[in-house]
Amino acid sequence: MAAPLTRYADPASARAARAVGAARRRASRLPAVVWDALLPALLLLNVLTTHPPQELPEAVALTAALSLPLLWRRRAPHAAFGVVAAAALVQWLLDVQLPADVALLVALYTVAAASGRRGTLAALAVVEAGALLACNRWAADGAFLTPFVAVSAMAVAAAVLGMNVRTTRAYLAAVEERAARLEQQQEQQARLAVAEERARITREMHDIVTHNLSVMVALTDAAVCAQHRSPDKATAAMLQISETGRQALTDMRRSLGVLRADEPDAERHPLPGIAQLRDLAEQMSTAGLPTRIEVDGGGTGVPATAQLTVYRLVQEALTNALKHTPPGTRAQVRVRCTAGAVTVDVTDSGPGSPRPGAAPAGHGIPGMRERAAAYGGTLRAGPLPDGGWGVHTRLNLGGSGVVSA
């Protein structure tokens, strides 16, 4: 639906349609019947001021019969035209010439503006027949052709003008409708963008908070155990806890969009990617999960947002392993980068039983699947045949252009 709407109702057309609609609303502040009453009033005033008293009653009656139906021409154009045409026939039968005959052209214009081609041609035929009768009776010195051509030209002009008005109204109505549909579509897209951004922030907050808190808890436990036997190790663990907390605060501020690129924290903690996986492995090893990293192909050709997705996938998988495996578990991460895809495998030697992060109510595995789906990939997570737990995903980079970290 987006393409046709954009093609026919682009923002410029939408603005033009709104401007035309506003102009029409300003022009229609007075009721339509007031505008329609102007011509009958002028025609009656003309009769009252130009006809002798002995002809006045008949002239006023015929003028009223010809012009007053125009007051209802918008609500009932065909009925108004029929009444005016009948009054014109009575006028012809009584052999009375009146300037109020112009009402027949106005009624013809209204029919052409309100009905289709057949109705317009039928009304035009009636007017032409009346013109033929009138010119045959009232043409001066038998000069029939010249007045007949002039009256016919005015009738055709009124019909053409009415048809053009009908076409213009239909076009403006279509443009306004398409503009309204485009605005509705843009509002829907904006709501979708807000929902996607909310989901992105939720995933980021989950990964950042879960990972860093898990690491800090593990380091705190290690520091407590080592404070008497090895104070140096306890001090190093406490320093690592402090650094992890600062990293978590910086990542949270960046995810919420409040961290500027020129802030010192942004330089000390750049946006994580494939190059930062080794630092992540060291952090996990310090927290009690020895982790080995293998990167094949390097990550220089992978977009930064895709690298962030890889980092978050690995981070979440290792965090789950740290939280749900017994001491002594080891983890291995393999990242393979090619021109069109990045493959990520995270395995650990822990028990292969289901883990809380894989439950539908949790955010761990579902969040990882959402990240992989943003690049047209799928994610598999579950026990391995030879024991342990594995997470496998493939991100398609070729022409996806979809980056929703």
The dihedral region occupied by 383, where left means phi > 0, alpha psi between -120 and 50, and beta the remainder, is: beta
Q: Is the pLDDT of residue 402 over 50?
A: no
- Bigger pLDDT: 221 or 178? 178
pLDDT at 378: 85
pLDDT category at 355 given cuts 50, 70, 90 is: low
Mean pLDDT calculated for residue range 310-321: 89
Lowest-confidence region among 14-28, 67-81, 217-231, 311-325: 14-28
CB within 8 Å of 57: residues ≥ 6 apart? none
pLDDT at 235: 81
Q: Is the pLDDT of residue 172 over 50?
A: yes
How does pLDDT run across 35-89, given as a tens digit for each residue? 778 888 888 888 888 877 777 888 888 888 888 888 888 889 999 999 999 999 9
How does pLDDT run across 220-258, given as a tens digit for each residue? 877 787 777 878 777 877 887 777 777 777 777 766 665
pLDDT at 395: 92
Q: Is the pLDDT of residue 359 over 70?
A: no
What are the structure tokens assigned to 249, written together?
């605060």
- Kindly report the number of other CB atoms within 10 A of residue 51's CB atom: 17
Mean pLDDT calculated for residue range 349-370: 67
pLDDT category at 19 given cuts 50, 70, 90 is: low
How does pLDDT run across 187-203, given as a tens digit for each residue? 888 888 888 777 777 77
Mean pLDDT calculated for residue range 283-300: 87
How does pLDDT run across 92-147, given as a tens digit for each residue? 899 888 888 888 999 999 999 988 889 899 999 999 998 888 888 887 776 788 88
pLDDT category at 405 given cuts 50, 70, 90 is: very low
Beta bridge partners of 337: 342
Q: Which domains does the chain have, with CATH numbers?
A: 2-187 (no CATH), 198-396 (3.30.565.10)
Q: Report the percent of the chain where pLDDT is more than 70.
A: 83
pLDDT category at 23 given cuts 50, 70, 90 is: low
pLDDT at 9: 43
Lowest-confidence region among 8-12, 205-209, 237-241: 8-12
Average pLDDT, the chain: 80
